[in-house]
Structure 1
Amino acid sequence: MMRGRVAYAGAIHEAYPHQIGVRLADGRVCKENEVVWLSPIEPGTIFALGLNYAEHAKELQFSKQEEPLVFLKGPGSVLGHRGVTRRPDDVTFMHYECELAVVIGKPAKNVMRNEAMQYVAGYMIANDYAIRDYLENYYRPNLRVKNRDGGTVLGPWFVDASDIDDVNQLELRTYVNGTLHQRGNTRDLVIDLPILIEYLSSFMTLAPGDIILTGTPDGIVNVRANDEVVCEIDGLGRLVNVIGSDAAFNRE
């Protein structure tokens, strides 16, 4: 089942896909642009994987890592479908990162990889923006790169794990202003989901609502103010986002 969360008429509603937009839990039907989209779930800890597709690592001239490159993200970085992400006017290179987001469904501690998928509740699309100007280096993304307000777009739907036949065969696509720039498949993950869950749960307890962002394929390009960025993953929907200038955020 696909389900999301939206704000409408002064309240937050659970929402479901409908042919003209969304159907609220109370039965009302709205157009997609008549609601404010929120993250489909209230996020817990967000774990983000860097350079987890071989071609993307090659694109950034980064050699193979010996263990997962993981960093944490704060809740203020999360934005919903159709939201606006700020691009500071003084930066030279800001890019999208279309990623499979994995949602943990029950407490996980010392999980073995052959049991790891039992702890997955479902999946979402993520678009985790990065500003290349602010990177200290590719193996240690710093706070300004990966914890910017509204820089991690999630949605539009949370999809139950049982509704995805094979999470290791999902195609990812990113379009900028209607042009396809990024294409990849989860079968090309350097470190797959069971290994990631085993690794993380070996030293900390994963909790329901925790999210693992699994990395992005190659094909990143610079985005600018007013660009529309669309990320698609098979079976998970279509995540739309717009880039805003400093002026749009009253930062002039």
Structure 2
Amino acid sequence: MKLVRYGEPGAERPGLIDARGNLRDLTDHVTDIAGGALARLGDLKRLSPDSLPLVPDTPRLGPCVGNVGKFICIGLNYADHAAESGMSPPPEPVIFAKFTSAICGPDDPIILPRGSEKTDWEVELAVVIGKPAKYVSEERAMEHVAGVCLANDVSERSFQTERQGQWSKGKSSDNFGPLGPWLVTLDEIADLNALPMWLDVNGERMQDGSTADMIYKVPFLVSYLSQFFTLRPGDVISTGTPAGVGMGMTPPRFLRAGDVVELGIEGLGRQKQLVVEDA
């Protein structure tokens, strides 16, 4: 299934995309694509999409999962990105948090925070937890995953690396966490470790990679994280980005108001974001 949330920010409704690409409403069957509903996806899979009401027009798509409890990110999880960052691949996953207030829809604008000098892009595969995971083995980790989606780990590098403290303040500005368009269940993905991924700025290809190049794969990451804290339904794990970010260029290149960012992962859809100044 391709599950979505559509409507105005804060008032999104649950839906799915049928085989013909039509948006169908799920309100009669689930209150939201969030929390406990993610543990009951089997009930939704038994529905006939053609029996669901068609949604007219083309409404805004919100983040494909609601009420996210934890937004966990994995740093330096592609060797080529670690190299362009001037760092060695880490001996264990680098973990940091992106505050949930950063989450927005896939085509909502990227908002440059006040004082921003080095806002950057990162196309990433994100994993959405479907049932609680605590001390799970790598072999059983995927039993706890509801699905995967496309994410852009927007990052303000001067906040992240040039000021005191940890990375989160450079990762968590408003609209720095676009998720979606779809939450795609695992039965729709032939090989999670072979998904082409890309990102363009103003039509110019910046990132051109594949999940095949991830250092730590999804089952390991879910198991690893569950050793430190319980993963709960709706938690999101963004798994890292390949080479091609702005800070790795010579000279570095960063986003400015008016830029357009487009990104995608095969089978997970695409996003398009206009860069704007904060009000």
TM-score scaled by structure 1? 0.89
Aligned to 1:13: 13
The answer to whether 1:99 aligns with 2:131 is no
Q: How does 1:69-218 map to 2 (within 5 A)?
A: 69-88=94-113, 90-136=115-161, 141-218=166-243
TM-fit CA distance, 1:20:
7.9
Tell whether the 8 Å contact from 1:20 to 1:30 is kept in structure 2 after alignment.
no
For 1:233 and 1:55, locate their aligned partners in 2 and report how far apart those are by CA, in whole Å: 18
Q: Deviations over 1:118-147 (max 9, x none)?
A: 211101100011111112369x74332011
Q: Deviations over 1:153-174 (max 9, x none)?
A: 0011110111111100111110
For 2:116 and 2:207, locate their aligned partners in 1 and report how far apart those are by CA, in whole Å: 22
Tell whether the 8 Å contact from 1:124 to 1:159 is kept in structure 2 after alignment.
yes
Which deviates more, 88-97 or 37-46? 88-97
TM-fit CA distance, 1:198:
1.5
Tell whether the 8 Å contact from 1:116 to 1:197 is kept in structure 2 after alignment.
yes
Tell whether the 8 Å contact from 1:22 to 1:31 is kept in structure 2 after alignment.
no
Tell whether the 8 Å contact from 1:23 to 1:30 is kept in structure 2 after alignment.
no
Tell whether the 8 Å contact from 2:99 to 2:168 is kept in structure 1 after alignment.
no
Tell whether the 8 Å contact from 1:176 to 1:229 is kept in structure 2 after alignment.
yes
Aligned to 1:243: 275
For 2:113 and 2:77, locate their aligned partners in 1 and report how far apart those are by CA, in whole Å: 27
TM-fit CA distance, 1:60:
0.6
Tell whether the 8 Å contact from 2:147 to 2:186 is kept in structure 1 after alignment.
yes
Q: Deviations over 1:229-248 (max 9, x none)?
A: 111001101112221113xx
**Paired positions, count:** 243
Give the unaligned 5+ runs of structure 2: 27-51, 247-253
Amino acid in the other structure paired with 1:52: N
TM-score scaled by structure 2? 0.80
Q: Deviations over 1:194-251 (max 9, x none)?
A: 21112111121111111110000011132211211111001101112221113xx2xx
- 2:170 alignment partner, SS class: helix
TM-fit CA distance, 1:116:
1.2
Amino acid in the other structure paired with 1:161: L
For 2:162 and 2:83, locate their aligned partners in 1 and report how far apart those are by CA, in whole Å: 15
For 1:174 and 1:31, locate their aligned partners in 2 and report how far apart those are by CA, in whole Å: 27
- 2:180 alignment partner, SS class: strand
Aligned to 1:36: 60
The answer to whether 1:27 aligns with 2:27 is no
Q: Percent identity?
A: 37
Q: Report the structure, 1 or 2, having the larger strand content.
A: 1
Q: Deviations over 1:76-121 (max 9, x none)?
A: 0101021012114643321111100001111111111111112111
Aligned to 1:4: 4
The answer to whether 1:67 aligns with 2:92 is yes
- 2:169 alignment partner, SS class: helix
Give the unaligned 5+ runs of structure 1: none
